[in-house]
Each structure stands twice: as C-alpha cells, then as structure tokens.
Amino acid sequence: MSMSVPVVGNFRQVPEVAQAGCRITERPENDLTDYAQLLDVIDVGICAVDRTLCIRSWNAFMAAHSGYGSREVIGRPLFELFPELPQDWLKERFDRVFDLGVPSFTSWEQRRYLFSFPHNCPINGGVESMQQDTRLLPIKDELGRVVQVLVCLFDVTDAVLLHHRLAETIQVLEEERQEQQQLIARLAETQEQLIQSEKLAAIGQLAAGVAHEINNPVGFVMSNFRSLEHYVEGAFTLIELFDRHIDVLPAEARAQVARLKQDMDYEFVANDVRALVAESRDGLERVKRIVSDLRDFSRVGETDWQWANVHACLDSTLNVVMNEIKYKAKVVKAYGDLPEIECMPFQLNQVFLNLLVNAAQSIRERGTITLRTRTEDDHVCIEIEDTGAGMTPEVMKRIFDPFYTTKPVGKGTGLGLSVTQSIIGRHQGSISVASTPGLGTTFTLQLPQRHTTAM
Ligand SMILES: Nc1ncnc2c1ncn2[C@@H]1O[C@H](COP(=O)(O)OP(=O)(O)OP(=O)(O)O)[C@@H](O)[C@H]1O
Ligand SMILES: [Mg+2]
C-alpha cells in the first residue's frame, strides 16, 4: 500500500520509508537521502498507528525513551504496550484524525505528557517526566483515505523548565513591583503629611502674628477700660450727690432735670451702664485669654522640654476649642492631684485639641465630655471620655492610620490621631482607646513624669 503526507517536491517511492509510515511518493533522481534513517536521526518521537491502533512505525527516539525497540512494538496494540496513556482521550483524538483527515495538536500546557518518559537530563527544576507537545498527523493513501495516524512527540522539557523559571522570575518581579508601589504610596503619604504639617506650621505662624497684633490693642483697650470704669463710677457718685441736694435748685431747674432724666430713661441707663461695663470687661478678659492661648498654640512647632502642669495645658486647650464644644457637650472635669511633668507642652496642647475636637464631633446632639486625671506610679494618666457615637472594631483598627477618616470630605483630614500618636510616642507615653458603638469612647493617655532620652 502506498501512502501520502504533504510533501513538497518531486519524490519517488521509497519502500522502507513507506513501511515506516511516512507519506512517500517519489524522490528526486539525484537525492540519495535515506528517509528511514532520517526519521531515526531527528530529535522527535515518531510513531504511527493503524485503524486498529496497532503500532506501524517506531523511530529511534521512541525506542531510546521507551526502552522498546521497533521489533518489539511493531504490530502490537499501542494501549497494551503503554497502559499509562490516556486511552479515552487519545482514542477520541485518533478517531477524529482518522475520520476528518485533519491534524490535531496538544501542547504540554493542556496535558504535560502522553508517554511517560523520564527526562533524560533531569534538572533541579522539579520536572521528572519528559514534557511533550504532540501532533497527530493523518497518513493518507492515494485515494485520500486516512490509513494511519502519525504521532509526533516533541520533547519540550527544557522549554518548560525555562517557562517555569521565567514564571518564577515574573512572580519575583511582580512582588517587587508591588513592594515598589507600596513604597511609592507610602512616600506620597509622607509627602502629604509633610505638606500638612507645613500647612499647620504656616497657619500657626499666621495665628501667632494675628494674636500678637490683637494683643497690643487689647492691652490698651483693657487699660483704657479700667480708667473708663473708674470715671463712670465717679460720674455716678457725682450724680447721686447732686440728686441728694437737688432741692436747693429753683423749681424751674428741678423741672428741667426731671424732664431730661425722663427723656433719657435715666433709671434704666444708670443700671444698664453698670451692667454694660461689667459685661464688656468680661468680654475683654475673654479676648485676652483667647489671644494668649492662641499664641501658646501657635508654638506647636516648639520642641523644648519643659516642666509643665497638665491641667493648665488641658484648660488652655479647652478655652481654644470651647466654641466647638459648648453647643454639643457639657465638660466635666474630674482632675486628680498631678505633679508637673517634663514634656513639650505646646505639643501636648495639640494632642488635647485633637482628642477634644474628636470627642465633640462624635456627639450628635448633646452629650458629656469628661476629663479625668490621676497619677499611676511614675506616670500621669489623662482620660478623655465622651458620650458620642462610639466606633466599631473595624474603625478602631484604623484610627491611627494617617488620612483615615470617617468624616465627610472637607470635614476631617484623618491626621488628628496619627499626629497625636506620634507626639505621645515622642513623649515615650502610650495612648489607648476603648469604645462602644452608640455609647461613647474613652481615650487614655499615659505620660511619664520625667523625660529620659532625647528623641
Ligand atoms: N472620640 C471619637 N469617637 C468616635 N470616633 C472617633 C473618635 N475619635 C476618632 N474617631 C474616629 O477616628 C477617625 C480618625 O480620627 P482623626 O482625628 O485621626 O481624623 P479626623 O477627626 O477624621 O480628621 P482630622 O482630625 O484630621 O480633622 C475619625 O474619622 C473617627 O471615625
Ligand atoms: Mg480628628
């Protein structure tokens, strides 16, 4: 029987190759190549099976890797010799090639190998069996009927090993890329934080400038006001004396005075002037206190270690934020006996400010903020407790992360607690939080009384 596979050129039939199952027609006159020998030389496994799936040809590659010479296999059923072959799957493939007459291809990625051949240069890469790409080609007779199927087995183990190594390298590169991205994100965060702290410093300076400018006029208004108070009291004393001796005046003059007093509602004015003076004096005192707290505050950048009274820090911070708090919460002070501590007071002010503003913001309508202080061994403890909305455990896990905020855009930057934590860290203290959703939150600060190492 003569057979055919697509071959380019003018070939003459060569019987031994025909037997080996290749399509053989004719060979050019001057071409002396022995095709059967060629099949044994190439580095591809060649095996042909007929309709009964008995082996019809078997090249040296197959013999070398299977351990069966061609004499032992020719004419014998493929699946009997190689029970490890995926019979159902392969039969279906053979049937398709026999029936349709078109080639079929399987890569190692779909099925790592058909024939279980050991890889003859086993390398560390963890591949023990030869990895194979397989091609099934129809061998047709002169009438175009598929009489055999040629199985071409390509050893792709080295390529697979390379592929694995490449995949590992890509994996390492991907991990590095992710690390780099995290680094870039962290850099961006740090940069934003720097910008924020620069902004805070700039605002601080501005506040200091404004506070200074206000301080002077407030100073002389206060001093003038004291004189004014004195003059007003003098004027009233004079009027009272005059009233006591009014009878000595002629009747017409007394009537004029009475008219004038009536027109200007003298009784009311006399009482109101004193009230106005007292209120204004109170207001001026408050302006003076706020200006002085603001000046303290604008020194948040100062990092001098000083002995300071924590209660004084808490009180001056309360003054600054009272406006934010007073409509929301009653402030209860439960101060214990505290010694002075060595700290950076202006930075502690910033801590108290963040905690107090957070507490006030957590209260929806009205609530209470309680400030408790006590001494524990060589530490002082400061508790800031609110009756606000509280936090879920998920929120609590993230509150110290820079830029983490649950507040609407424009309301919170999410930096308050991360700045707080770093200031407490600089003081070698600790900050802890306990919270119950719906009930409220307590932040507890512990600060050593004495600063030990320079940070
Ligand atoms: N007392 C509190 N009660 C309930 N939630 C709080 C309290 N304090 C902080 N949080 C939660 O922690 C988050 C982070 O607080 P943080 O002070 O760092 O940022 P912020 O208040 O959102 O913004 P910023 O302080 O920068 O204006 C808040 O958005 C809030 O969800
Ligand atoms: Mg805050």
> 112 CB contacts (<8 Å, ≥6 apart)?
129, 131, 132, 160
> 196 CB contacts (<8 Å, ≥6 apart)?
413, 415
Average pLDDT on 5-16 reads 34
Q: Which long-range contacts (CB under 8 A, 24 or more apart) does 432-435 make?
A: 433/391, 433/396, 433/399, 435/390, 435/391, 435/396
Q: Tell me how far apart the terminal alpha carbons of the chain are, to the nearest angstrom.
A: 95
Give the pLDDT band of residue 434 (cuts 50, 70, 90): very high
Say whether pLDDT at 363 is over 90: yes
Residue nearest to atom 28 of ligand 1 (CA): 405
Q: 379-386 and 367-376: which strand pairing?
A: antiparallel
Q: 329-334 and 440-448: which strand pairing?
A: unpaired
Say whether pLDDT at 83 is over 50: yes
Residue nearest to atom 1 of ligand 1 (CA): 359
Query: Which CATH number does the domain housing residue 369 bear?
Result: 3.30.565.10
Q: What pLDDT score was predicted for residue 296?
A: 64
> 362 CB contacts (<8 Å, ≥6 apart)?
386, 388, 389, 390, 440, 441
Which residue has better confidence, 415 or 361?
361
Distance CA 433, CA 380 (A): 16
Question: Is the same domain home to 308 and 237?
Answer: no
Q: What pLDDT score was predicted for residue 46?
A: 95
Query: How large is the C-alpha radius of gyration of the chain?
Result: 48
Range of the domain at 120: 3-155
Stated pTM of the model:
0.48
Pocket of ligand 1 (CB under 6 A): 354, 358-359, 362, 386, 388-391, 395, 399, 404-407, 412-418, 441
Say whether pLDDT at 10 is over 50: no
Question: Is the same domain home to 391 and 412?
Answer: yes
Residue nearest to atom 19 of ligand 1 (CA): 414
Specify the number of domains making up the chain. 3
Question: Is the same domain home to 279 and 138?
Answer: no
Average pLDDT on 101-115 reads 92
- Which pLDDT tens digit goes with each residue over 336-355? 999 999 999 888 988 999 99
Residue 174 within a domain: no
The pick from 192, 197, 358 for probing ligand 1's pocket by mutation, whose C-beta has the most ligand atoms within 8 angstroms, reads 358
Question: Is the same domain home to 7 and 118?
Answer: yes
- Which pLDDT tens digit goes with each residue over 289-339? 777 767 666 655 566 889 999 999 999 899 888 888 988 999 999 999 999
Distance CA 422, CA 255 (A): 76
- Which pLDDT tens digit goes with each residue over 366-390? 999 999 999 998 999 999 999 999 9
The sign one gets for the Cα dihedral 401, 407, 412, 413 is positive
> For residue 417, which of 384, 380, 450 has the smallest C-alpha distance?
384
Q: What pLDDT score was predicted for residue 319?
A: 86
Give the pLDDT band of residue 453 (cuts 50, 70, 90): low
Which ligand has its closest atom nearest to the C-alpha of 441? 1
Say whether pLDDT at 210 is over 90: no
CA of 391 to the centre of ligand 1 (A): 10
Question: Is the same domain home to 144 and 276?
Answer: no
Residue nearest to atom 9 of ligand 1 (CA): 358
Say whether pLDDT at 22 is over 60: no
